Structure 1
Amino acid sequence: MNTVVSEGIIKVTSQCKACDHCSFICPTGAISGTLGQKHQINVGKCINCGQCLISCPFGAIEDISMVEQVKQALKDPRKTVVVQEAPAVRVALGEEFGQPPGTNVKEKMYAALRKLGFDQVFDTEFTADLTIMEEGTELIYRVFNALGVEGYEDIGPLPQFTSCCPAWIKYAEDKFPRILPYISSAKSPQQMFGPIAKTYLPEKLGVNPTDIFVVSVMPCTAKKYECSRPEMIASGFQDVDAVITTRELAQMIKEAGIDFLSLPNEKADRFIGLSTGAATIFGATGGVMEAALRTAYELLSGEILDKVEFKAVRGMQPVREATVEIPVKQLGKVIPVNVCIVTGIKHVDSIIEDVLNGRSNYHFIEVMNCPGGCINGGGQPIRRDTY
Structure 2
Amino acid sequence: MIFNIEVNNKVLKAKRGDSILETLNQNGISVPTLCRMQGFPSSGACRLCVVEVEGKEDLVPACSHNVEEWMKIHTHSPRVINARRTIVELLLSSHPDDCLYCIRNKNCELQELADELGIRERKLPIVKKQVKKDPSSVSITREPDKCILCGRCIKVCRDWIGISTLDYIGKAMNTIVGPTFDNKLNISNCITCGQCIMVCPTGALHEKDDVNKVLLALQDPDKYVVVQISPTVSVSLAEEFNIRFGKELDELLVATLRRMGFNKVFKTAFAADIMLIQMAEELIDRMEKNERLPILSSNCPAFVKYIEQTYPDLIPNLSVIKSPQQIMGSLVKHHFAKDQKVKAEKIFSVSLMPCTAAKFEASREEFTHKGNSDIDVTLTTRELARMIRLYGLNIQQLAPEVSDTPFVIRTSASKIIGTSGGLAEALYRTLYYKLTGKQLINFKIAALRGNKKIKEYNSKIGNHKIGIAAVNGLSNAVELLDKIIEGKSAYQFIEVMACPGSCVNGGGQPIGSGQEAIKARIKTLYDIDEKESVKASYKNMAVTELFDKYIDKEKESFFQQFITSYQKRDVML
SS of match in other structure, 2:366: coil
SS at match of 2:379: strand
Which of 248, 252, 257 is the aligned partner of 1:108? 252
Distance 2:299 2:432 in 1: 20
The within-5 A match list for 1:290-301 is 290-301=425-436
Runs of 4+ with >3 A deviation: 4-8, 384-387
Q: Deviations over 1:260-293 (max 9, x none)?
A: 1111111111224622111111111111111111
TM-score normalised by length of structure 1: 0.91
1:239 aligns with 2:369: no
Q: Aligned partners of 1:363, 1:299: CA distance in 2, in Å?
A: 16
Q: Hey, what's the Cα distance between the residues in 2 that align with 1:205 and 1:245?
A: 28
1:356 aligns with 2:488: no
Q: How many residues align?
A: 369
C-alpha separation between the residues in 2 aligned to 1:254 and 1:23?
32
The alignment status of 1:23 with 2:154, answered yes or no, reads: yes
Equivalent position to 1:224, from 352, 356, 359: 359
Kindly provide the CA deviation profile for residues 236-270 of structure 1, in whole angstroms up to 9, marking residues without a partner as x.
73110000011111110001111111111111112
- Letter matched to residue 171 of structure 1: Y
5+ residue gaps, structure 1, are 147-155, 328-332
> For residue 274 of structure 1, what is the aligned residue in structure 2?
409
Q: More displaced, 269-278 or 308-317? A: 269-278
Q: How does 1:70-81 map to 2 (within 5 A)?
A: 70-81=214-225
Mean Cα deviation higher: 372-381 or 315-324: 315-324
Q: Give the secondary structure class of the aligned counterpart of 2:483.
A: helix
Please state how far the C-alpha of 1:5 moved relative to its aligned partner: 9.9
Cα distance, 1:163 vs structure 2: 0.4
| Partner in structure 2 of residue 176 of structure 1 | 311
From the CA coordinates, give the structure whose radius of gyration is larger: 2
Q: What letter is aligned with 2:176? A: K
Give a deviation string over 1:50-102, Cα, whole Å, max 9, x none: 10001112242111122111111100011110000110001000111111221
Counterpart secondary structure, 2:403: coil
- Provide Cα deviations, 1:328-355, integer angstroms capped at 9, x if missing partner: xxxxx4x321111101111111111101
* Residue of 242, 245, 268 corresponding to 1:124: 268
In the alignment, the residues of structure 1 paired with residue 513 and residue 502 of structure 2 have an alpha-carbon distance, to the nearest angstrom, of: 20
Q: Is the 8 A contact 1:286 1:313 kept in 2?
A: yes
The aligned amino acid for 1:288 is: L
Cα shift at 1:384: 6.3
Residue 366 of structure 1: aligned partner: 495
Amino acid at match of 1:101: F
Q: Distance in 2 between matches of 1:234 and 1:374?
A: 28
Q: 2:460 maps to what in 1? A: 325
Give ranges in structure 2 of 5+ residues lacking alignment: 1-133, 180-184, 517-573
**Code of the aligned partner of 1:24:** K
Match of 1:11 among 128, 141, 144: 141
- Once residues 237 and 359 of structure 1 are traced to their aligned partners in structure 2, the CA distance between those partners, rounded to angstroms, is 42
* Stretch of structure 1 that moved more, 227-236 or 159-168: 227-236
Pick from 230, 233, 237: which aligns with 1:86?
230
Match for residue 333 of structure 2?
Answer: 198
Pick from 326, 338, 341 the counterpart of residue 467 of structure 2: 338
Q: Which moved more, 1:80-89 or 1:65-74?
A: 65-74
Counterpart pick for 2:342 among 207, 220, 224: 207
The answer to whether structure 1 residue 376 and structure 2 residue 520 are counterparts is: no
Q: Is the 8 A contact 1:195 1:234 kept in 2?
A: no
Q: Identity rate of aligned residues, in percent?
A: 38
1:89 and 1:118 mapped to 2: Cα distance? 17
2:471–2:477 contact (8 Å) kept in structure 1: yes
Q: Is the 8 A contact 2:138 2:359 kept in 1?
A: no
Give the one of 173, 187, 193 matched to 1:49. Answer: 193
What pairs up with 1:62-77 in 2 under 5 angstroms? 62-77=206-221
| SS state at 2:461 partner | strand
The more displaced of 4-13 and 218-227 is 4-13
d(CA) in 1 for partners of 2:299 and 2:203? 28
Give the letter for the 1:66 counterpart.
Answer: D
Q: Which deviates more from structure 2 when the two are superposed, residues 228-237 or residues 292-301?
A: 228-237
CA contact (8 A) 1:5 1:225 kept: no
Distance, in Å, in 1 between the alignment partners of 2:486 and 2:263 is 51
Q: Confirm or deny: 8 A CA contact 1:195 1:233 kept in the other structure.
A: no
CA–CA distance in 2 between the matches of 1:184 and 1:234?
21
Deviation at 1:304, TM superposition (A): 1.8
